[in-house]
């Protein structure tokens, strides 16, 4: 670890949290219907889309009416993607002559993209046609937008006083594209082309190398995909090597841009949250504690990767950082930061191969996913953060003997039950399939690495799928009927159970009267309460997942330090 | 039912907008402003396209700079890393083989002085850059094979070295394609 390395990490995190402030303010104005200086462009465009889709922009919706189109759009777009990937081999825009996907793989991929997981059991260069990739881009826009508007509906429910109206889904949804996602992606994409990311519909280039051999260089409209895969916390890339591929992330500067794109959506939601409930203090509390958790995790990875692999040192005399599965242009600090941010924000894009990280370096991304609140995906991350807040209020209310309330709303049995449902669904969809995989031949035969690391591969896979992350310990051979089918179901449950539960909470909070602050109110917008929130998150996470982590990365770290190879 | 019909209409309209118009706009503007980058930064030598500046290719000739080890044999249509874990015996074997290649081709540097990036596989298998230390270790071999002076080779390494972005982010690295094109051009003169 060096001072310069630490500054590289802290500067990027500072940029991510700083840009979240104006972006969150802008998004708040978008979702509350304030005018922007581009109103003359936006208004007719949006009216045009309302007419094409056939919606009444003046309609008001309660939480059920808001949820219904979320589920229907998810379903229709998933079917669209499934059909495209089943048929793409026979459709145009296939310059490299790639094949359609078989049914289980297409199901897995469609479930994966509609949930913003972007777990990929195919390699992009040979497993997708250009048309298939364009369909993937469509889903990469739609899926995060669904998560974003779900969070917006939740925030309206919080801010309401005895009104069931949580907004108009179609208006929020279409504005998310026209005013947020498309403008940011268009500008970022052009900048990325300028910095070296290709964007062409010419097929792969066949070249004769300096030594006269033939090399086939896959390319495509890559730059169109990179911004939305990052900004939408999708993570599914054009190439098998994802963002470690030099055509997807050619320089340290593009890496920083891609890191920032990945982080600003979640930070903007923290800021927007503060605007909705009229309390900047809450945003400040979350900025401090979540930022702190992110920095702490990143430093653990950085220290562990800088120290390198003691086994290589003892056996071969190779000294220095662990560069297996990393790119020299990024170096250890940016690679470590990318690992922490991609896991925390549930993006799943990678600029280094997580399977080749040191055990501690691989433990942190698993922990960042399991804790659920280290930013989380755009919108849905905020929902998890508030879910833990509700549980924390309930626990501390019990401890001091006061009625739990938050943001001026009483928390009652219905909200607690729903929050606990959202919280407990993930350990079930994570641990049970992991246990099945390690007890069956089909699960074990997918592991590439022997010993404890093989277990970590499976644990990482179901962690990634449950929390809709999409990064992987890539050695795991996931393209089997077991992983395709079980994984697809896990990803869908991971996304929709908590989303539905949280919207139901929003519906019930929306109808409650706002109670004025009194001497009997348990003050929650304090840094002391923030500490309790962190403690609850960590204790719940540790109680649930520590045993599994102990068998995987923790035991492997001890094994590595003591110099023993697996058999 | 009315919502299902809307969801279908939405999917058709936005599939065209996001799956066709948006990518065409990026591609159109990108190719207009940055034609070289948009096509993949392809490099020409004597009128022949010899590869991409951003993609490592297999180089074994003693008179050229070698890229980092690749777990996928520099397959630019099938990128990837080794995915070998830190306690996997196969990792030790792989690094050992890479180390033996370096020790054979560029003798004289003890393993502790060889940078790990020179003997450990990259993430993409296509890492186009090497560290400066890696390049310097290769210079005596290239000088011997080509007859170019070590001082000249050092000057092209330093001349092509890229420092951290904006002076802050990333490492100082050298692009292998640029080095090798410089050598080829010098030899043809």
Supply the pLDDT for residue A400: 87
CA distance, residue A407 to nearest chain B CA (Å): 33
**Cβ–Cβ gap B15/A253 under 8 Å:** no
Dist. CA A190–CA B34, nearest whole Å: 9
Residue A36 has a pLDDT of: 85
Q: What angle do CA A548, A549, A552 make, to 5 degrees?
A: 90
Per-residue pLDDT averaged across A12-36, rounded?
96
B41, with CB counted inside 10 A (0-12, 13-18, 19+), is: buried
Q: Is the pLDDT of residue A516 over 90?
A: no
pLDDT at A402: 83
Q: Are A488 and A112 in contact (CB under 8 A)?
A: yes
User: How high is the pLDDT of residue B1?
Assistant: 79
Are A318 and B119 inside 8 Å of each other by CB?
Answer: yes
What is the length of chain A? 567
Contacts of B99 in chain A (CB under 8 A): 316, 318
Q: What is the rounded distance in angstroms from the CA atom of residue A116 to the CA atom of residue A308?
A: 33
- Identify any residues that bridge with B45 across adjacent strands, giving them in sequence order: B48
Model confidence at B189: pLDDT above 80? no
Q: Are A162 and A513 in contact (CB under 8 A)?
A: yes
Q: How far apart are CA A66 and CA A63, in angstroms?
A: 5
Q: Give this prediction's pTM.
A: 0.96
pLDDT in tens, A241-271: 999 999 999 999 999 999 999 999 999 999 9
The domains of chain B are located at 1-39, 41-188
Q: What is the pLDDT of residue A407?
A: 87
pLDDT, tens only, B4-45: 999 999 999 999 999 999 999 999 999 999 999 999 999 999
Give the contacts of A562 (CB within 8 A, at least 6 positions apart).
none
Share of chain A above pLDDT 70, in %: 100
How far is CA A545 from each of CA A21, A363, B177, rounded to the nearest angstrom?
33, 11, 47
Distance (Å, rounded) from C-alpha A375 to C-alpha A380? Answer: 10
CB nearest to B9's CB, from A52, A350, A451: A52
Residue A202 has its nearest CB partner, among B15, B39, B82, at B39
Contact map slice: A 161-200 vs B, CB within 8 A: 170, 177, 182, 185-186, 189-190, 193-200
Interface probe, candidates A356, A557, A564, chain B, greatest B C-beta count within 10 A: A356
- Would you say B34 and B40 are in contact if contact means Cβ atoms under 8 Å apart? no
Interchain contact, A244 vs B131, CB within 8 Å: no
- Give the model's pLDDT for residue A155: 96
Tell me how far apart the alpha carbons of residues A120 and B43 are, in angstroms, rounded to a whole number: 31
Per DSSP, the three-state class of A264 is: helix
Interface subset of A 529-558, CB within 8 angstroms of B: 556
Name, in order, each residue with C-beta under 8 angstroms of A524's C-beta and a sequence gap of 6 or more. A389, A393, A406
Mean pLDDT of A196-213: 95
pLDDT tens-digit readout, A311-363: 999 999 999 999 999 999 999 999 999 999 999 999 999 999 999 999 999 99
Query: How many residues comprise chain B?
Result: 189
d(CA A315, CA A310): 9
Number of CB pairs, chain A paired with chain B, less than 8 A apart? 380
pLDDT in tens, A152-177: 999 999 989 889 999 999 999 999 99
3-state secondary structure chain B: CHHHHHHHHHHHHHHHHHHHHHHHHHHHHHHHHCHHHHCCCEEEECCEEEEECCCCCCCCCCCCCCCCCCCCCCCCCCCCCCCCCCCCHHHHHHHHHHHHHHHHHCCCCCHHHCCHHHHCCCCCCCCCEEEHHHHHHHHHHHHHHHCCCHHHHHHHHHHHEECCECCCECCCEEEHHHHHHHHHHHHHC
Q: Is A102's pLDDT higher than 80?
A: yes
- By three-state DSSP, how is residue A195 classified? coil
Interface of A with B in 380-439 (CB under 8 A): none
* Per-residue pLDDT tens digits for B109-166: 999 999 999 999 999 999 999 999 999 999 999 999 999 999 999 999 999 999 999 9
Query: CA Rg, chain A, in Å?
Result: 23
Look at residue A68 in the predicted model and tell me its pLDDT.
97
A351 touches chain B (CB under 8 A): yes
| In contact, A47 and A71? CB cutoff 8 Å | no
- Nearest CA of chain A to the CA of B68: how many Å? 9
Nearest CA in chain B to A325: B123
CB distance A122 to A71 below 8 Å: no
ipTM > 0.90 for the complex: yes
């Amino acid at each position: 670890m060096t001072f310069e390395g630490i500054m590289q990490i802290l500067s990027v995190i500072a940029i991510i949290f700083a840009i979240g402030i104006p972006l969150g303010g802008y998004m708040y104005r978008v979702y509350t219907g304030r005018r922007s200086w581009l109103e003359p462009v936006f208004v007719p465009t949006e009216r045009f889309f309302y007419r094409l889709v056939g919606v009444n922009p003046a309609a008001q919706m309660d939480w059920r009416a808001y949820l219904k189109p979320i589920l229907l759009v998810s379903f229709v777009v998933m079917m669209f993607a499934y059909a495209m990937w089943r048929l793409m081999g026979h459709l145009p825009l296939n310059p490299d002559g790639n094949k359609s996907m078989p049914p289980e793989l297409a199901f897995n991929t469609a479930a994966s993209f509609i949930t913003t997981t972007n777990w990929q059991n195919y390699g992009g260069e040979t497993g997708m046609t250009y048309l298939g990739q364009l369909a993937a881009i469509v889903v990469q826009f739609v899926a995060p937008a669904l998560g974003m508007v779900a969070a917006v509906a939740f925030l309206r429910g919080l801010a309401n006083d005895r009104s069931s109206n949580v907004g108009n889904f179609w208006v929020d949804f279409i504005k998310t594209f026209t005013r947020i996602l498309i403008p940011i992606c268009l500008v970022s994409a052009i900048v990325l082309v300028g910095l070296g990311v290709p964007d062409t519909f010419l097929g792969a280039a066949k070249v004769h190398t300096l030594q006269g051999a033939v090399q086939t260089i896959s390319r495509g409209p890559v730059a169109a995909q990179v911004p939305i895969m990052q900004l939408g916390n999708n993570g599914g890339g054009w190439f098998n090597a994802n963002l470690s591929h030099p055509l997807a992330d050619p320089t340290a500067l593009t890496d920083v841009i891609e890191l920032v794109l990945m982080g600003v959506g979640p930070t903007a939601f923290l800021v927007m949250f503060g605007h909705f409930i009229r309390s900047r203090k809450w945003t400040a509390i979350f900025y401090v504690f979540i930022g702190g958790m992110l920095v702490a995790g990143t430093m653990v990875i950085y220290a562990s990767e800088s120290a390198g692999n003691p086994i290589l040192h003892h056996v071969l005399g190779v000294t220095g950082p662990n560069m297996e599965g990393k790119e020299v242009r990024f170096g250890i600090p940016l690679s470590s930061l990318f690992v922490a941010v991609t896991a925390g924000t549930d993006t799943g894009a990678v600029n280094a191969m997580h399977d080749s990280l040191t055990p501690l370096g691989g433990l942190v991304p698993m922990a960042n996913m399991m804790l659920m609140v280290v930013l989380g995906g755009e919108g849905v991350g905020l929902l998890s953060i508030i879910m833990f807040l509700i549980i924390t209020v309930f626990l501390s209310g019990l401890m001091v003997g006061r009625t739990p309330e938050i943001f001026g709303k009483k928390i009652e049995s219905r909200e607690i039950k729903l929050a606990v449902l959202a919280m407990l669904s993930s350990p079930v969809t994570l641990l049970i399939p992991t246990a099945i995989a390690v007890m069956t031949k089909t699960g074990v035969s997918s592991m590439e690495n022997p010993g404890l690391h093989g277990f970590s591969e499976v644990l990482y896979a179901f962690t990634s799928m449950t929390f809709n992350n999409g990064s992987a310990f890539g050695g795991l051979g996931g393209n089997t009927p077991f992983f395709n089918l079980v994984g697809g179901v896990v990803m869908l449950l991971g996304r929709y159970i908590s989303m539905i539960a949280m919207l139901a909470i929003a519906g019930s909070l929306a109808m409650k009267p706002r109670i004025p602050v009194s001497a009997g109110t348990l003050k929650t917008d304090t840094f002391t309460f923030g500490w309790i929130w962190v403690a609850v998150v960590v204790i719940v996470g540790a109680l649930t997942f520590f045993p599994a982590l102990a068998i995987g990365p923790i035991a492997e770290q001890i094994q590595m330090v003591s110099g023993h190879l697996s058999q | 039912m009315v919502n299902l019909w809307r969801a279908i209409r939405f999917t058709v309209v936005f599939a065209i907008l996001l799956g066709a118009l948006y990518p065409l706009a990026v591609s159109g503007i990108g190719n207009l402003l940055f034609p070289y980058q948009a096509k993949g930064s392809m490099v020409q030598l004597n009128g022949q396209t010899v590869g991409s500046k951003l993609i490592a290719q297999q180089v074994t000739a003693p008179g050229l700079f070698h890229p980092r080890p690749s777990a996928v044999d520099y397959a630019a249509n099938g990128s990837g890393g080794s995915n070998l874990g830190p306690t996997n015996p196969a990792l030790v074997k792989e690094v050992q083989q890479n180390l033996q290649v370096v020790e054979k081709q560029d003798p004289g540097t003890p393993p502790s002085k060889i940078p790990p990036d020179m003997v450990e596989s990259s993430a993409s298998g296509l890492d186009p850059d090497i560290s400066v230390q890696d390049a310097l270790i290769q210079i005596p071999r290239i000088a011997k094979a080509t007859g170019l002076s070590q001082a000249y080779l050092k000057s092209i390494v330093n001349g092509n070295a890229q420092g951290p972005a904006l002076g802050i982010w990333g490492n100082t690295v050298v692009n292998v394609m640029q080095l090798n094109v410089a050598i080829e051009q010098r030899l043809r003169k």
